[in-house]
Copies of this chain bind each other. A is one copy, B any other.
Amino acid sequence: MTTAPTIGVFDSGFGGLTVLRALAARLPHAQFAFLGDTARLPYGSKSRRTIARYAAQSAQFLAREQGAEFIVIACNTASALALDAIQDAVSVPVLGVIEPGAEAARAASRTGDVLVIATDATVQSHAYAAACQARGLHGIEKACPLLVPLVEEGWTTHPVTAEVIRIYLAELNAEAAAKGLNADALVLGCTHYPLLRPLIEKAVPAGMRVIDSAEAVAEAAVHLINGRAAVAIPKQEAERPILSAPLAERMGAEAGLAPHAAQIRCFATDSVDKFERLGSSFLGRPTGKVELVDLGG
């Protein structure tokens, strides 16, 4: 048996563990190194320049120090604002979460009108709107800055959270209606939001599909690993070398094994206790011992 290659997964915090969970379920023979840049979170309220610097350092840690042969940016903000900077910083293929999310919306929407909820920085980048437009969709984005703190407070089923979701979605639907749009899909454009999926499903109009960008990027990663890059890979990444065939074989891209079969090592730049305490609800299994790393920031 060959050595399992390492897939690096990166987020500003531990929300990206929802992406790792989806990846591990699909790539049970891979090894994963997850880095949460918790000392500098949240990225969602910061500038492009700062986010690019932090994200590039994080990707370099995964590629150089953990030997990652493939990197998934499990953070919508970093994908939206820093994909180019990360690709420039490392020599291995890098997959962001925005394009797969938009691709999943294209597959789900009949009307072509798509709602996107995300952090401030992701929305201000208009990365989802651009990715939708490139697919002939009309995307309307809304920043929902209270949702991450509500998830981190553990209020994932709380009436206050339901009310905040109702307010945000009412504002977003009103904006879509004012533009004469008939949206039938909602993209969860932040890796924290899947934990609010039950409340969000209750709040959306009947018939609206809820798209989990964590699931979408995991699907795209498997496609990329299997060399079927045409399906969901963004233009920038398609121009880069995709994984070699032997590497794809070693990754064992097949379904059916339980996610706990994959080997996972977690790293954080701060708050290891909090990561271990809250991370399991995102990952769907214990994170194991989280190792503290210093990126010098």
Q: Which residues of A contact B (CB under 8 A)?
A: 38-41, 45-47, 49-50, 145-146, 148-150, 152-153, 155, 160, 163-164, 167, 269-271, 274, 297
Q: What residue in chain B is nearest A158 (Cβ atoms)?
A: B167
CA gap between A145 and B146 in the complex, in Å:
11
Known contacts A149-B145, A149-B146, A153-B145; decide if A47 and B297 are in contact (CB<8 Å).
no
Q: What residue in chain B is nearest A154 (Cβ atoms)?
A: B145
Task: List residues of chain B with CB within 8 A of the CB of A150.
Answer: 146
Taking the closest CB of chain B, its distance from the CB of A273, in whole angstroms, is 8
Do B297 and A40 touch across chains, with their CB atoms under 8 A apart? yes
Do B50 and A270 touch across chains, with their CB atoms under 8 A apart? yes
A270's partner among B46, B269, B274 (CB-CB below 8 A) is B46
CA gap between A145 and B271 in the complex, in Å:
15
CA gap between A178 and B27 in the complex, in Å:
51
Task: List residues of chain B with CB within 8 A of the CB of A271.
Answer: 45-47
Task: Please state the number of chain copies in the assembly.
Answer: 2
Taking the closest CB of chain B, its distance from the CB of A101, in whole angstroms, is 24
Do B160 and A153 touch across chains, with their CB atoms under 8 A apart? no
Task: List residues of chain B with CB within 8 A of the CB of A270.
Answer: 46-47, 49-50
Task: List residues of chain B with CB within 8 A of the CB of A39.
Answer: 40, 46-47, 50
Task: List residues of chain B with CB within 8 A of the CB of A155.
Answer: 146
Taking the closest CB of chain B, its distance from the CB of A16, in whole angstroms, is 17
Taking the closest CB of chain B, its distance from the CB of A272, in whole angstroms, is 8
17 sampled A-B residue pairs with Cβ under 8 A: A38-B46, A39-B46, A39-B47, A39-B50, A40-B40, A46-B271, A47-B270, A47-B271, A49-B270, A50-B269, A145-B149, A146-B149, A146-B153, A148-B149, A149-B149, A160-B160, A297-B297
CA gap between A167 and B154 in the complex, in Å:
14
Most B CB contacts (10 A, CB to CB) among A148, A160, A163 go to A160
Do A152 and B145 touch across chains, with their CB atoms under 8 A apart? yes
Task: List residues of chain B with CB within 8 A of the CB of A297.
Answer: 40, 297
Task: List residues of chain B with CB within 8 A of the CB of A149.
Answer: 145-146, 148-149
Task: List residues of chain B with CB within 8 A of the CB of A49.
Answer: 270
Taking the closest CB of chain B, its distance from the CB of A203, in whole angstroms, is 14
CB-CB nearest 5 A-B residue pairs: A149-B149, A297-B297, A50-B270, A39-B50, A46-B270
Taking the closest CB of chain B, its distance from the CB of A71, in whole angstroms, is 22
